[in-house]
Structure 1
Amino acid sequence: MSDAVKLACATCGQMNRVPLVKLAEGPKCGACGDPLADGKVIELDARAHDKTTRADEMPLLVDYWAPWCGPCRMMAPEFAKAAMSLKGRARLAKLNTEDHPEIASRARIQGIPALVLYAKGREIARLSGARPASEIVSFVQGRLGA
C-alpha cells in the first residue's frame, strides 16, 4: 500500500504527491500554494474537472449544479458540511452546469443536483437530488467501504 496520494490542484492543474499522514493537515499545492484537501468545497472549471476526475488518487465527489436551481442552492451548506466531515478521506467539488454544459453532457447529467463519486479515474456511483450532509457522507463512505 502506498504511503502517499496524488492530487491534482484545481487551480493550476499541478499534480502533487501528498503523504497520507499529511492529509489531515490541509496540504497545499507545491506550485501555486492553494489548498489541496482542506475540507472545503472546490469550485471546478472544465480543465480542473477533467484533471481531478481522471488523475486524483483520492476519491472525489462532484456536485453538478446551477445557480437557478433552488434545491441546488438549498443543498450547498449541507454539501459544505459533508466536505468537512470527509476531510482527508475524499475531496468534494462543484461544477456549474450552466457555465460548463459540455462537461454536464459528457458526464450524462440529466437532472440537478446530481452527485457523482469518482475514484481511481472512473465513476463509481451517483446520487440524485438534494441531500442532507449525513446522507452525503453515508453515500461516500458506503461506496468506499469506510
Structure 2
Amino acid sequence: MSGTDIQIACTACGATNRLPPGRDPREARCGKCRAALFSGQPADVDGPMFQRQIGRSSIPVLVDVWAPWCGPCRMMAPEFARAAGMLEPEMRLIKLNSEAEPQTAAALGIRGIPTLLLYRGGREVARQSGAMDAAGIAGWARAQLRH
C-alpha cells in the first residue's frame, strides 16, 4: 500500500472510511457500523451499494456480475470467493446479481454472464466474460492494473 490514506466504502452500511498508512486494513472496522471492512469474502451488493463501492473506494474494485440461474456463474462463485482471499485488501471484490438488479446490469452493458468488471478511480478499466478459476481471476485483475 502507498503512504497515503486508503478510502474504502463499507459493504454493510455504505459509509466511507479512511484508513491511515501503516494500519493493517484486514483488521479495520467501519467507523459507523463497526463491520469488518475486509472479510476475505466478496460482498453481495445492490445497485446503490455498487455505485458507492466504485465511487468511494480509492482501491480497485473487482465486480462479478452473475445470476442465480446461470450454471457457469454458480461454478465460478467459489472461485471468486477464493480470489477475494488472494486479492484483499489490495482490491475490493463485490458481486452484483444481474437478475435482482436488471437496470444496473443494463446500464453497465452486460451482454453475458458471468462478467468481471474492474474499476479504478470510479472508472471501468477492464472487463472479461466467462468463468475462470481463482488463480485466473487474480492473475487477470492484477495484469489489468499494470496497464
TM-score (norm 2): 0.93
User: In the alignment, what sits opposite 2:42?
Assistant: 41
Moved over 6 A (4+): none
Q: For residues 33 and 135 of structure 1, do their structure 2 counterparts lie closer, same or farther at Cα, with a shift above 3 Å needed?
A: same
Structure 1 residues 13-51: Cα deviation after superposition (integer angstroms, max 9, x where no partner): 111001243344332111001122232111101111011
User: In the alignment, what sits opposite 2:8?
Assistant: 7
User: In the alignment, what sits opposite 2:93?
Assistant: 92
Q: How many pairs align?
A: 146
For structure 1, list consecutive stretches of 5 or more residues without a partner in the other structure. Answer: none
Contact 1:43 1:95 in 2 (8 A): yes
Q: For residues 74 and 17 of structure 1, do their structure 2 counterparts lie closer, same or farther at Cα, with a shift above 3 Å needed?
A: same
- Separation in structure 2 between the aligned mates of residue 125 and residue 41 of structure 1, nearest angstrom: 18
Structure 1 residues 28-85: Cα deviation after superposition (integer angstroms, max 9, x where no partner): 1110011222321111011110111122111000000000000000001100110000
Q: Structure 1 stretch 36-45 or stretch 58-67: which is displaced more?
A: 36-45
User: In the alignment, what sits opposite 1:101?
Assistant: 102
Contact 2:67 2:98 in 1 (8 A): yes
Contact 1:5 1:19 in 2 (8 A): yes
TM-score (norm 1): 0.93
User: In the alignment, what sits opposite 2:51?
Assistant: 50
Percent of aligned pairs with the same amino acid = 42
Question: Which letter maps to 1:37?
Answer: F
Contact 1:27 1:38 in 2 (8 A): no
- Separation in structure 1 between the aligned mates of residue 106 and residue 35 of structure 2, nearest angstrom: 29
Contact 2:62 2:117 in 1 (8 A): yes
Contact 2:25 2:37 in 1 (8 A): no
Structure 1 residues 71-122: Cα deviation after superposition (integer angstroms, max 9, x where no partner): 0000011001100001121011101111000000111111000000001010
For structure 2, list consecutive stretches of 5 or more residues without a partner in the other structure. Answer: none
> Do residues 139 (structure 1) and 140 (structure 2) align?
yes
User: In the alignment, what sits opposite 1:75?
Assistant: 76
- Separation in structure 1 between the aligned mates of residue 70 and residue 87 of structure 2, nearest angstrom: 25
- Separation in structure 1 between the aligned mates of residue 6 and residue 23 of structure 2, nearest angstrom: 10
